[in-house]
Structure 1
Amino acid sequence: MSLLSAWRGFGCRSLPAASSRPPCIRALHQRSVSKALSKLPANTAFGIGSRPLGGLLRQQGLWRQGRHLSLGTKSSQPRPFDAKFFSSNAAAIPKLPVLSRPPVAGWLIASSVLVFTVIVVGGVTRLTESGLSITEWRPITGILPPLSQAEWDAEFTKYKATPEFKLLNHSITLDEFKDIFYMEWGHRVLGRLIGITFVGPLAYFILSNRLTATLPKQLLGISLLIGAQGVLGWYMVKSGLEESLMDTPGAVPRVSQYRLAAHLGTAFVVYAGMLGTGMAVLYDWRYGMSGAWAGLKGEAANWNNILQNPAVKRFARYSKLLTGLVFLTALSGAFVAGLDAGLLYNEFPLMGGRIAPPADELFSTAYAKSPDGSDIWWRNIFENPTTVQFNHRCLAITTYTATAALYALSRSSAYKAVLPPLVKRMMVSAFAMANVQVLLGISTLLYLVPVPLAAAHQAGSVLLLTTMVQLLISLRRPGAAARAWRQALLAKGAKPTKAP
């Protein structure tokens, strides 16, 4: 007897679909079929591979616990928000591109926090003059500090041969040397940790196809910058270990301010790249899954019309210019730190009772090295401590004024009506952080650059850059992958309350 014949023996002409029968009819069939099956022997075969009917129905997905027959209620199509729909291969919708998920964003933002930490620790290392305590660069074996008295004596002997020890720290003890050694060692270990925690997960995400198509190249570029940072850091330290400093009259054993600025500037780029990319991944996911964009949802999240508004375009251009100004001001702070320029003119807003120092002090001929004096301008700008501090003051005042002006613009009625909520919130954060940063800078200057205030001032520069990066990302249109996923979900009529 065939399965179809058996089915007809139960009073049914054909196998019905789940959606073709009312609930009362389905219940009636379930009771009648269950009653009929209960009268059959358990090993009754019906001619289909000589299998018992119960086993056959279980294999077909029609037989459930309690020997009730399922009338096709289980759909063969995957649900819109099950795991398969969100697999990296997008098996249910093969034409959809891969959309990076929140764990990718979390990893990038966590990596940026590590970079923020290493920037602050690097500032403290510079302020405590600990950066020249380790005289060798050993990327692998240098991860361990000296573990025995003999190893400590060997490291201390190497330090005694440096210009810094001979000119400044000739009376330092071994215990005092350990303090500055551990500070520099901690800074280097943090740098290695960033490399490991970034490159390892990046390889996993790439090999498992969990990254949006445009991300691998961007993140590989950041990986190269992290590696370059290690090389650049040693190149910077090496400039403070050169024996030529002993032969230069009035020379102070310190690292080159040019190399310090390059090292810090690259760290800022790495930080902004990680943070900005992580925020973009998170915002793209939110838009793709729920349609939320820049604090707007539903019909209000019409990003295309908003970003095409001339006022919003103008505000976006101003935001980019302000971000560049924030970066430039922070970079000028590296020259202040490299030349100890913060120890001059410890007053504000005047410098020696004047708005600006005398012209012959700002552009001293003593810094010109060319016979015709043609390099007097740029050498004073980058090598004269007085000029470096004056430039940093001017840039800081300009940055604060520009931030206040952009904040006021965002609060005007014309812009307030067209800017998305997230943009307005980020602008408030940027202006608040600019105020904090100005207060930290003035306090650092007036109190002769104490380490806690100076470190907080450097951290403040990174936090101000953070608010500007978030402001720019909030003015960014969703990525192509996020737009494709959003259109696909709208076409399916899916309205999830939360991301799976």
Structure 2
Amino acid sequence: MDASAEVRAHPESSSTNASPSNPPLSGPPVGAWLLLCSTLVFAVIVVGGVTRLTESGLSITEWKPVTGVIPPLSHADWEEEFAKYKATPEYKMLNAHMTVDDFKDIYYMEWGHRVLGRVIGGAFVIPLAYFALRKRLSPGLPARLAGFAFLLGGQGALGWYMVKSGLEDEILTTPGAIPRVSQYRLAAHLGAALVLYAGMFYSGISIMKDGKFAHKGTWAGLRDAGNTWMQTSKALRAFRRHSALLTALVFLTAFSGAFVAGLDAGLLYNEFPMMGGRLHPPADELVAPAYSGTDGKERWRNIFENPTTVQFDHRVLGVATYTAAALVFALTFLRRRALPPAAMRAAAVTFGVANVQVALGISTLLYLVPVPLAAAHQAGSVMLLTAALHMILAVRRPGAASQAWRKASYSLLYS
């Protein structure tokens, strides 16, 4: 069998050796590794939500990045840790009745959250070093992954910065204060985790799709698509634009949920769609003097510090997100003849997940934020972000390295 005949018989395998001058193309192992890491980040987001919901986050009063991986092992160790917790505002104001055994429950919850974060660090950094040294990363990918590594390391410090805000002694002397972490720091911690998850997931799926395009010409659910991805039809441009806007709206809604969680705003107005018998609370509740500064010139603080306003804003963003998902799906359905199959599937899945997320959100509100429902709602927000990201990925332009490999494979196949 001559060379050209062999290429025709095995086009996928030959394309990876089509030209020594082609840039490196990240293979499936790299994509699978990034998807595994994104799954671990998904898990730590959910565990972090449960940690907050069970009021376990302030149980560990020190940050020990290395030795903190070992929990107390003896009765004396537990007594020592419990003594540290007894000195915190949370114990003095809310948990003075707590025993050592009660303390162990919340301690292990927070400890598990921190250990999972360390596991993610190892699962990301060690393979990253291996793939980089073996030159198995596409051009531009090493810098992006280095950014993920930096963000991942910063998450540990940011998490401790958040916890520290709930341990300040001034909480004891501040009228009306409740021992809990700053909603600003909580939002920053969650926002960074969502960015990290989105980056890892997007990169992992992109690598998988680039491999399929390079080896088989598959794009957006079309086999042997060739340069179909270069089409600039009005429907395809609109789908790309709508997908990006919907993803941004999903992220903003999830981010606003951190302020709801940080202020326990979900325990107000436990009805839907009304709030106290009307579609919105009274104006003097939404812009309350207590949150507007002594001279009334800091009304913007109500958006981030007033529990009523925070819940109302999250509701509005949630309804807007659901409406946007429904509109995108409807437009996609109407233009189904002009869009590739993958775009249709991605829009349908996103709208389906949006329905589930709305049901979870309303149920969480009506049932006064029970832990299982609230945790499922937080997980649902990440699932909805995943679905929205996949809409973008469904019609994503193949990477430069993937295009080079496909071109070389195509040339060799028909030479």
State if a TM-score over 0.5 links the two structures: yes
Residue pair 2:4, 2:413 contacting (<8 A) in 1 also: no
* DSSP 3-state at the match of 1:206: helix
Deviation at 1:93, TM superposition (A): 2.2
- Code of the residue aligned with 1:175 in structure 2: it is D
- Code of the residue aligned with 1:477 in structure 2: it is R
The counterpart of 1:138, out of the listed 64, 69, 85, is 64
Pick closer, same or farther for the CA change 1:221–1:79 going to 2, 3 Å.
Answer: farther
Residue pair 2:325, 2:354 contacting (<8 A) in 1 also: yes
The counterpart of 2:282, out of the listed 353, 358, 364, is 358
Which residue of the partner structure matches residue 367 of structure 1?
291
Pick closer, same or farther for the CA change 1:78–1:130 going to 2, 3 Å.
Answer: farther
Q: Does 1:153 align with 2:92?
A: no
* Alpha-carbon distance between aligned partners in 1 of 2:239 and 2:53, rounded to the nearest angstrom: 38
Which residue of the partner structure matches residue 211 of structure 2?
285
The counterpart of 2:328, out of the listed 406, 418, 426, is 406
* Alpha-carbon distance between aligned partners in 1 of 2:216 and 2:261, rounded to the nearest angstrom: 47
The counterpart of 1:209, out of the listed 132, 135, 138, is 135
Q: Does 1:195 align with 2:109?
A: no
* Alpha-carbon distance between aligned partners in 2 of 1:154 and 1:388, rounded to the nearest angstrom: 39
* 1:81-101: CA deviation from partner (whole Å, max 9, x where unpaired): 6999677xx6x7221111111
- Counterpart mapping for 1:285-364 below 5 A: 285-299=211-225, 302-305=228-231, 308-364=232-288
Deviation at 1:375, TM superposition (A): 0.4
* Alpha-carbon distance between aligned partners in 1 of 2:307 and 2:377, rounded to the nearest angstrom: 19
Q: Does 1:453 align with 2:373?
A: yes
- Counterpart mapping for 1:482-497 below 5 A: 482-493=402-413
* 1:340-360: CA deviation from partner (whole Å, max 9, x where unpaired): 000001011101111111101
Which residue of the partner structure matches residue 170 of structure 2?
244
* DSSP 3-state at the match of 2:338: coil
Deviation at 1:493, TM superposition (A): 1.1
- Counterpart mapping for 1:105-116 below 5 A: 105-116=31-42
* Alpha-carbon distance between aligned partners in 2 of 1:410 and 1:475, rounded to the nearest angstrom: 13
- Code of the residue aligned with 1:392 in structure 2: it is H
Higher relative contact order (CA 8 A, sep 6+): 2
Pick closer, same or farther for the CA change 1:324–1:488 going to 2, 3 Å.
Answer: same
* Alpha-carbon distance between aligned partners in 2 of 1:427 and 1:77, rounded to the nearest angstrom: 41
Which residue of the partner structure matches residue 9 of structure 1?
none
Which is richer in helix?
Answer: 2
Residue pair 1:85, 1:93 contacting (<8 A) in 2 also: no
Residue pair 2:265, 2:311 contacting (<8 A) in 1 also: yes
Q: Does 1:392 align with 2:318?
A: no
Give 5+ residue unaligned stretches, structure 1.
1-72, 496-500
Which residue of the partner structure matches residue 43 of structure 1?
none
Pick closer, same or farther for the CA change 1:470–1:83 going to 2, 3 Å.
Answer: closer
Pick closer, same or farther for the CA change 1:494–1:233 going to 2, 3 Å.
Answer: farther
Residue pair 1:345, 1:351 contacting (<8 A) in 2 also: yes
Which residue of the partner structure matches residue 158 of structure 2?
232
The counterpart of 1:223, out of the listed 149, 156, 179, is 149
* 1:22-73: CA deviation from partner (whole Å, max 9, x where unpaired): xxxxxxxxxxxxxxxxxxxxxxxxxxxxxxxxxxxxxxxxxxxxxxxxxxx8
Deviation at 1:301, TM superposition (A): 6.1
* 1:240-259: CA deviation from partner (whole Å, max 9, x where unpaired): 00001011011000000000
Residue pair 1:101, 1:281 contacting (<8 A) in 2 also: yes
Deviation at 1:186, TM superposition (A): 0.3
Deviation at 1:475, TM superposition (A): 1.7
* Alpha-carbon distance between aligned partners in 1 of 2:126 and 2:414, rounded to the nearest angstrom: 36
TM-score (norm 1): 0.80
Pick closer, same or farther for the CA change 1:288–1:299 going to 2, 3 Å.
Answer: closer
Residue pair 2:15, 2:409 contacting (<8 A) in 1 also: no
Which of the two has higher C-alpha Rg?
1
Q: Deviation above 3 Å: which 4+ runs of structure 1?
A: 75-87
Residue pair 1:78, 1:84 contacting (<8 A) in 2 also: no
Pick closer, same or farther for the CA change 1:162–1:299 going to 2, 3 Å.
Answer: closer
Residue pair 2:229, 2:395 contacting (<8 A) in 1 also: no
- Code of the residue aligned with 1:437 in structure 2: it is Q
Residue pair 1:96, 1:485 contacting (<8 A) in 2 also: yes
* Alpha-carbon distance between aligned partners in 2 of 1:290 and 1:85, rounded to the nearest angstrom: 11
User: What is the number of residues matched between the two proteins?
Assistant: 413
Deviation at 1:79, TM superposition (A): 6.5
- Code of the residue aligned with 2:296 in structure 1: it is G
Which residue of the partner structure matches residue 393 of structure 2?
473
Give 5+ residue unaligned stretches, structure 2.
none
* Alpha-carbon distance between aligned partners in 1 of 2:339 and 2:226, rounded to the nearest angstrom: 12
Alignment root-mean-square deviation, CA = 2.0
Deviation at 1:417, TM superposition (A): 1.3
Which residue of the partner structure matches residue 117 of structure 1?
43
* Alpha-carbon distance between aligned partners in 1 of 2:354 and 2:128, rounded to the nearest angstrom: 34
Pick closer, same or farther for the CA change 1:152–1:416 going to 2, 3 Å.
Answer: same
Deviation at 1:132, TM superposition (A): 0.1
* Alpha-carbon distance between aligned partners in 2 of 1:395 and 1:76, rounded to the nearest angstrom: 59
Pick closer, same or farther for the CA change 1:296–1:447 going to 2, 3 Å.
Answer: same
Pick closer, same or farther for the CA change 1:299–1:336 going to 2, 3 Å.
Answer: closer
* DSSP 3-state at the match of 1:298: coil
Percentage of pairs with the same residue: 60
* Alpha-carbon distance between aligned partners in 2 of 1:260 and 1:78, rounded to the nearest angstrom: 60
Residue pair 1:292, 1:301 contacting (<8 A) in 2 also: no
Which residue of the partner structure matches residue 429 of structure 1?
349
* Alpha-carbon distance between aligned partners in 2 of 1:111 and 1:99, rounded to the nearest angstrom: 20
* 1:133-154: CA deviation from partner (whole Å, max 9, x where unpaired): 0000000000111111111110
* Alpha-carbon distance between aligned partners in 2 of 1:82 and 1:212, rounded to the nearest angstrom: 21
Deviation at 1:420, TM superposition (A): 1.0
- Code of the residue aligned with 1:389 in structure 2: it is Q
